[in-house]
Each structure stands twice: as structure tokens, then as C-alpha cells.
Amino acid sequence: EAFIKPWQGLEKALAKLGRTLQFDMESWTLELGSGMQMNPESVKRGVYGIKNYLSKKGMLELPDLPITDPDSYQMKLASKDNIERYYAPAGGMIQSRVELGSFVKVGDRLYQLLSFNKEGNLPNVIDIKAETDGLVFDVSTNYSANQGEYVLSVRQFDN
């Protein structure tokens, strides 16, 4: 992962040996989907982005790259303020979760949590409902959750 920046560790080790060397490195992390899953469209866009970057740096010569008109390749950005994250209120198994890409309204069920107890009673089913209108744009890959673990996110839209 680029965020680890291994060259910084090398710089420090060399400095201890009396050699000052600073690497001029750019780094970025390519996201190809979500935890334990790859999204083919993300891979396609990622490869295109890498080719464009390397073309811009003069390392590759490819037709139609680098992009000279950045307006021709728009990227949608969203404020983090418009994201509602949902976490498991108790430990249990997630069931009946809405699908990624679904639009929801306030009060719609997002998922159910089958919560087991330690007293030997039957498990409780907890309905988790949307607190805002929006698009389900991220879901966890795990169907088991501990209390407080992330389950999904809804992106709110301005009216």
C-alpha cells in the first residue's frame, strides 16, 4: 500500500548510517472495489488512470493519452457531510440487507440484525431503518457483526 511509504523507512535507516538521502516519491492507493472483492469497472478505470498518469510523466507513449482536456473525463465528488453511516447496535448476523445502489427513503428497512443473547432465549430481530433519503453506496462484506461495527452507508442528496 502506498500509504505505508516504505521509502521513508529507508531514508531513516540511511540517516542512521550517516547518509542523507531524500527520495522524491509520489504515492497513491488504487482502490479496486471493497474488502475482499474486486469491482471490474473499478479495475478498468484504475488501469486507465495508471496509463494516463504514466503517459503524463512521459514514461509511456500511448495514443489518446495523456488526457489533455481534463473536462473530458469528469469525476463526481461528494461531501463527507452528506454521508450517513450505519453501525450494528448489537452483535449478530445481518440479514435482508438492501442491495448496493438502492435508493431508500426515511423509514425504509436497510437491514435486519439477528441478535443472539447469552441467556439462552430466542434471538431478537432488530430492524434498522433509514434515517435519511439517499443512495446505499457502500456495504460491508461481512454478514456477521460485533456491536459497533460498520454495516453500510447512505449518501444523502440535496433537494
Q: In terms of pLDDT, which residue wins out, 50 or 32?
A: 50
- Looking at the chain, the domain(s) classified CATH 2.40.50.100 span 80-155
Can you tell me the mean pLDDT for 106-112? 98
Q: What's the predicted TM-score (pTM) here?
A: 0.60
Would you tell me how many other CB atoms lie within 10 Å of the CB of residue 31?
10
Most confident of 2-11, 41-50, 110-119, 146-155: 146-155
Task: Give yes or no for a contact between 128 and 153, defined as CB atoms under 8 angstroms apart.
Answer: no
Q: What is the pLDDT of residue 87?
A: 97
Q: In terms of pLDDT, which residue wins out, 37 or 50?
A: 50
- Return the C-alpha cell found at 81: 457531510
Q: Give the residue among 145, 149, 153 at the shortest CA–CA distance from 98.
A: 153
3-state percent breakdown (helix, strand, coil) of the chain, nearest 5: 25, 25, 50
- Return the C-alpha cell found at 37: 472483492
Chain Cα centroid distance, residue 25: 24
Can you tell me the mean pLDDT for 29-49? 80
pLDDT per residue as tens digits for the range 57-103: 888 888 888 887 767 667 676 777 889 999 999 999 999 999 999 99
Pairing of strands 144-145, 92-95: antiparallel
Q: What is the pLDDT of residue 125?
A: 96
CATH architecture of 80-155: Beta Barrel (2.40)
Q: What is the pLDDT of residue 130?
A: 97
User: Looking at the predicted structure, is the pLDDT value of residue 152 above 80?
Assistant: yes
Task: Read off φ and ψ for residue 7, nearest 5 degrees.
Answer: -65, -25
- Percent above pLDDT 70 for the chain: 88
Those residues with Cβ within 8 angstroms of residue 19's Cβ, 6 or more apart along the chain or in another chain? none
